[in-house]
Amino acid sequence: MSKTVKLRKGLNIRLLGEANKTRSELVVPKTISIKPTDFHGMIPKMVVKEGDQVKAGGSIFYDKYNEAVKCASPVSGKVQAIVRGEKRKIMEIIVEADAEIQYEQGTPVEVSSLSSEEVKAKMMAAGLWLYVRQRPIDIVANPTNEPKAIFVSAFDSSPLAPDFDYVLHGNDAEFQAGLNALSKLTTGKVHLTLNGKAAADATFTQAKGVQINKIIGKHPAGNVGTQIHHIDPINKGEYVWTVNAQDVVIIGRYFLTGKYDARRTVALTGSEVKDPHYVELISGSNVGNLLAGQVTTDNVRVISGNVLTGDKIAADGHLGFYHNQITVIPEGDQLKFVLTKGWMGPGFDKFSNSRLFPTFLLAGKKFRLDTNTNGEERAFVVTGELERVFPFDILPMQLVKAAITDDIDGMEALGIYEVAPEDFALCEYVCTSKIDIQDKIRKGLDLIQQECM
């Protein structure tokens, strides 16, 4: 029984630098990096040492608390460095890639012939388990839990996001194989949610064995969190797993070919990119060569992911594990004079959800926004603004306050189990008091995990 959900709340931030629909060929990067920090809360136990040779699909590390969950190298090559941070925490594992990728060859299998446990075991051994994430807490799924449903979003509504209909066109077989594998993991349904406003690609509309839902609305309509809340909400003690659509294809490819082939199409976007377009990349690729000559100015911020939830990386840094997008925007580290570009300025260059700026007069205009916070951090003063961009039946301000004050009972009652930091990204964007809301929610989730899970 498919559902159609209409959202009234939300916000589409209109940015310059959307990717053109051209795709450049796969280039094997010089190095790739695996950042254990992409898997929040996971403590990696290394399998390889610096200088070891690995094949694509060979294990790099496993999860200290779930030894079966392995992380695999997406390329073959030599482990160049294991970068450690404070308290010797492993920050990054850098692999120098061979020019020709050697795969750890498994045998292609028909998923339908496998049991649920066999699918799980195969995915964990091949390093595919990391693509499966769980709500609550928004971490890599714990394979011992029973999810009541699995959600896949067929579109990304965040600013300048890649168009999955374009990216996954023609990947029907892999996508279907991936969905088949996922449906083995739950006794409940696998939900695939399409954008109700656009005609979706056949990859999605022809998908079988899943419940296809539609959601209509502004961002965060494409976030799985929003979709779960409106289609099959999470209550205390329940689990829902989520997988990104491109990652479903990678999982499917593994079952079809027996190889861990982590190619994905990444959108190179942002106002500072000369020719925004799509590129085929391997997970964790170094983006230095890609960006060389592509960036218009020097003082930029390179983001792996989108502007709302992505990670800041160096200009020669590496793509994150889950990211389908690279965004380059100007840094905003300049003083802005009050009457021109500052807080009293006319503000035609600023995108605001409030009517204090003339954004509402400029329908359709796309903006070049920088990383300036446009003001200093303050206590919460303005009320009602978070609610306008938060399409949940949850009171965002009260939940954030409960998270700030470490109020576990309050967070539980107010719905912390249903949310992930990314669901609050827009709240953080519009917040007049410039509070780092995603960070507060993450800390609240960590506390809940520690005390209640």
State the nearest-atom distance from the C-beta of 13 to other proteins, in Å.
7
State the nearest-atom distance from the C-beta of 296 to other proteins, in Å.
17
Give the torsion sign (CA, 190, 166, 8, 271).
positive
The residue (of 166 and 380) whose beta carbon lies closer to other proteins is: 380
The residue (of 1 and 381) whose beta carbon lies closer to other proteins is: 381
How many other β-carbons are positioned within 10 Å of the β-carbon of residue 274?
12
State the nearest-atom distance from the C-beta of 219 to other proteins, in Å.
12
How far is Cα 67 from Cα 199, in angstroms, rounded to an integer? 42
State the nearest-atom distance from the C-beta of 22 to other proteins, in Å.
26
Q: Residues 10, 52: contact at Cβ < 8 Å? A: no
The residue (of 43 and 344) whose beta carbon lies closer to other proteins is: 344
How far is Cα 253 from Cα 258, in angstroms, rounded to an integer? 7
How many other β-carbons are positioned within 10 Å of the β-carbon of residue 376?
8
State the nearest-atom distance from the C-beta of 387 to other proteins, in Å.
7
CA 270 to each of CA 295, 298, 448: distance values in angstroms, whole numbers, following the listed order = 10, 14, 36
Q: Residues 367, 332: contact at Cβ < 8 Å? A: no
CA 85 to each of CA 37, 70, 314: distance values in angstroms, whole numbers, following the listed order = 11, 22, 16
The residue (of 256 and 329) whose beta carbon lies closer to other proteins is: 329
The DSSP result for 135-157, as a single string, is ETTTEE--TTS--SEEEEES---
What is the chain's length? 453
State the nearest-atom distance from the C-beta of 276 to other proteins, in Å.
17
The residue (of 129 and 424) whose beta carbon lies closer to other proteins is: 424
State the nearest-atom distance from the C-beta of 435 to other proteins, in Å.
9
The residue (of 51 and 384) whose beta carbon lies closer to other proteins is: 384
State the nearest-atom distance from the C-beta of 94 to other proteins, in Å.
24
Q: Residues 199, 346: contact at Cβ < 8 Å? A: no
- Tokens representing 232 are 């099959």
How far is Cα 94 from Cα 288, in angstroms, rounded to an integer? 14
Q: Residues 314, 291: contact at Cβ < 8 Å? A: no
The residue (of 140 and 427) whose beta carbon lies closer to other proteins is: 427
The residue (of 123 and 426) whose beta carbon lies closer to other proteins is: 426
- Tokens representing 246 are 């491109």
CA 40 to each of CA 36, 57, 133, 144, 446: distance values in angstroms, whole numbers, following the listed order = 8, 22, 10, 18, 9
State the nearest-atom distance from the C-beta of 303 to other proteins, in Å.
6
The residue (of 108 and 346) whose beta carbon lies closer to other proteins is: 346
User: Rounded to 5 degrees, what are φ and ψ at 366?
Assistant: -105, 145
The residue (of 243 and 369) whose beta carbon lies closer to other proteins is: 369
HSE, CB side, 13 Å, CA atoms: give it for residue 154.
32
State the nearest-atom distance from the C-beta of 434 to other proteins, in Å.
6
How far is Cα 331 from Cα 193, in angstroms, rounded to an integer? 35
